[in-house]
Chains A and B, each alone.
Chain A
Amino acid sequence: MVTMQSTKLRFLSATVLLFALFSMLMFPVSAAGNQEVAASRISEAEWWMAQAYEAVLDAESADADVSGLLVRLNDAAELLSEARMAFDGGDFDEAAGFAESMSEVGYEIVDEAELLEIEAAKARVHSSWGFLAISVLGVSVVVVASVLGYSFFKRRYYRRLSKMKPRVE
C-alpha cells in the first residue's frame, strides 16, 4: 500500500516537474511568437497607413475635400503610434490589437479616398467643360465685337476725314 502510494506520488511529482519544464521551455517560444506576430501586424499597419495617406494626397490633388478623411486618418495614426509604443514596451498582444484595428481603418480610408478622387475627377471634367464653354463664348463675343467695332470706327474715321476742309495758313 505504502509502495503504491509512493509510486503515485513519484508519478505525480514527475508529471508536475515535466509540466513545469515544458512551460518554461514554451513560454519564451510563445513570447517570441507573439513578438513576431505583433511585428508583422505593425508592418502591415504601417503599409496601410502609407497607402491611406497617399490615397488621401491623390484625392486632395484632384481637389476633393479630404478634411473628413484626415480626421479618420489621424485616429488611425494614433492607433499606429499606440501599437508601436506597446511593442517597444514589450506588450505584444496590445501592439497586435492596435495594429489590426489600424489596418482595418486604413483599408476603409483607401477605399473612400479612391471614391472621393473619382468623384472629384468627374466634377473636374464637368467644370472644365463649363470653363471651356465660357471661354469659347467670351472669345467669340470679343472677336465679333472687335471686328464690328473696328469696321465701325474705321468708317467713322474716314467719313470724318473726308468732311475735313483743307486749311491754309
Chain B
Amino acid sequence: MTMKFQDYRTVFQVSSLALVLLAASPALSLIVSFPRSGESFSELWLLGPNHMAENFPFNVQAGEENSLFLGVGNQLGNSAYYLVYVKFRNQTQPLPNSNSSEPSSLPSIHEFQFLLEDGDVWETPVTFEILDALVHGDSMVVESVSVNDRVFQVDCSSTWDSENKGFYFQLFFELWVYNSERSTFEFHDRFVGIWLNMTG
C-alpha cells in the first residue's frame, strides 16, 4: 500500500508541530507550571539510645538519665517551620486525638523549633530524667522531669496498674507546623511516644 501526497503532508504537519513545541518548550516552561507529583507529608520518629528502633527506655527510675533520638522529615514540597512539643502524662490523661486532629490538652514540658528544607531531615538527641517521684499508697507522683537539662514541674500521678503491674507514665512528642496563611502553628496530626514503667 503506497501513501498518497495528503498522507505525507499530514505526517509533515504533525512532525513540524511537534518540533515547534519542542523548540518553544523553554519559553513555555515560564508560563506553564506543573503541579508537584506525589504526596506531601511530614515524618516523625523516635529512635533508641543506639540510634536504632530498639532498646527504648522502659523501666526507668528517678535520678536515672535516659536518652532517645527524635527525628522529623520534611516531604511537604517546600521549606517548613516545625515545632515539637514534649508532653508527659499518666495512663488516663489525654493523648492527641487522631480522628479530630486535636492535640493533647496537656501543657508541654519542653519544645523544639526548627526549619527544614524540602526533603531534609532533622534529628536531635533527647535526654530525660525523672527527678522527683514519690509513692503514696497505690499511687505514684512524679513531681519534676528534666528534658535536655531543663527542669519542669509536672506533678503527674499514676495509680498502680494491677494488670500490667506497674506505675505507668508516657513521654510523648507532638508535631506542629507553621501555617503561614493563618500565621500560627497548627497540630500536624502526628505524635510518637514511649511508655515508662516507674515501678523499679
B116: chain A residues within 8 A (beta carbon):
70
Check A131–B113 contact: CB distance below 8 A.
no
Cα of A56 to Cα of B79 in the assembled complex, Å: 9
Q: Is B25 an interface residue (CB 8 A)?
A: yes
Question: Interface on A for B, CB 8 Å cutoff?
Answer: 49-50, 53-54, 56-57, 60-61, 66-67, 70, 73-74, 77-78, 80-81, 84-85, 88-89, 128, 130-132, 134-136, 138-139, 141-143, 146, 149-150, 153-154, 157
B107: chain A residues within 8 A (beta carbon):
88
A61: chain B residues within 8 A (beta carbon):
78
Cα of A81 to Cα of B22 in the assembled complex, Å: 51
Q: Is B97 an interface residue (CB 8 A)?
A: no
Q: Is B5 an interface residue (CB 8 A)?
A: yes
Instruction: Tell me the minimal C-beta distance from B129 to chain A in angstroms.
Output: 16
Instruction: Tell me the minimal C-beta distance from A1 to chain B in angstroms.
Output: 57
- For the complex, count residues of B whose C-beta is within 8 A of A: 34
9 contacts between A and B (CB under 8 A): A53-B81, A84-B111, A135-B27, A135-B28, A138-B22, A139-B24, A142-B22, A146-B16, A153-B12
Contact for B27 among A54, A84, A132, A149, CB less than 8 A: A132
Cα of A57 to Cα of B114 in the assembled complex, Å: 14
Check A60–B79 contact: CB distance below 8 A.
yes
Closest B residue to A79 by beta carbon equals B113
